[in-house]
Homo-oligomer: A and B are copies of this chain.
């Protein structure tokens, strides 16, 4: 009896000769986001609001996360939303606000790009391009960001295997761009008490198979503000090279994902706690 010979989604799947493979390149890749290095001994924290909503919201949040120790600012200008009737982001107006606060704070900025036609525009305003979970297998987009010379933050699809995730990164490297950060952000399982199931075993697995840095998103991974600190600590302990977290100056008023955003005080407290874990595993958080 013949069962499926092609559970792996491709005739040619991930192999040790892939460009993302640690066999080909044993040394860890350092990704350089305007001088902030991801993949070395320092654990890098990326923080900011889910979506750019207003000048006040973005600027107050950005200043506070910088004070707390974040090294990179996140904020969405183009938002992938399940329903067409949800807030879709401020678009270029949001990009301009990001560029303005970047100048003030000196924090590099990462923001999501969803459309091949937006890559050039977004590249002009930002320091790292994010490819979101829903676009992990949007191959034209992967090729397009691969042709840009910006670092790329690639989020794991919520039902992507480790192999598919690495092959998606391969699309980017194959265009000549090796500045790729992998991000575990929770997978979809049968469990419903959390928004997703954060798969922390993906961190050692990815770092074992690939030379690329790996970070963790406990905000989307849990969907629960009160659970973010515990999972952030676990992510540092398991060996992540960084964290990306949603922080909002007024979470209860957030248009998007407020229920999973840390307040400014919660973020500051968490950073203090994370430094202790980082030291316990022989790393540091600035």
Contacts and interface: CB of A to CB of B under 8 A. Distances in A.
Contact of A137 (B3, B82, B162, B164): B82
Interface residues of A, number: 91
7 residue pairs, one from A and one from B, having the closest CB atoms: A159-B159, A237-B237, A115-B140, A10-B82, A134-B137, A234-B238, A9-B82
13 contacts: A2-B226, A3-B193, A3-B205, A4-B222, A6-B259, A7-B223, A12-B83, A82-B168, A189-B189, A197-B201, A200-B231, A234-B235, A277-B281
A193 B162 contact: yes
A204 to B, nearest CB: 4
A268 interface: no
A163 B227 CA distance: 17
A10 B7 CA distance: 20
A208 interface: yes
Given A200-B234, A230-B204, A13 B135 contact: no
A7 to B, nearest CB: 5
Contacts of A234: 200, 234-235, 237-238
Contacts of A168: 82
Interface string A145-175: 0000000000001110111100110110010
Contact of A201 (B5, B205, B222, B233): B222
Nearest to A194: B201
A13 B83 contact: yes
Interface centre among A9, A135, A139, A277 (most CB of B within 10 A): A139
Interface string A99-122: 000000000000000111110000
B277 A7 contact: no
Given A10-B86, A13-B82, A234-B234, A161 B190 contact: yes
A81 interface: yes
Contacts of A11: 83, 86, 256
Interface string A165-188: 001101100100000000000011
A112 B217 CA distance: 32
A224 B2 contact: yes
A43 interface: no
A137 B135 CA distance: 8
A81 B209 contact: no
B201 A198 contact: yes
A190 B189 CA distance: 5
Given A1-B23, A2-B224, 4 more contacts: A6-B257, A82-B168, A114-B138, A234-B234
Interface centre among A85, A161, A223 (most CB of B within 10 A): A85
Given A140-B114, A277-B237, A191 B162 contact: yes
Contacts of A118: 140
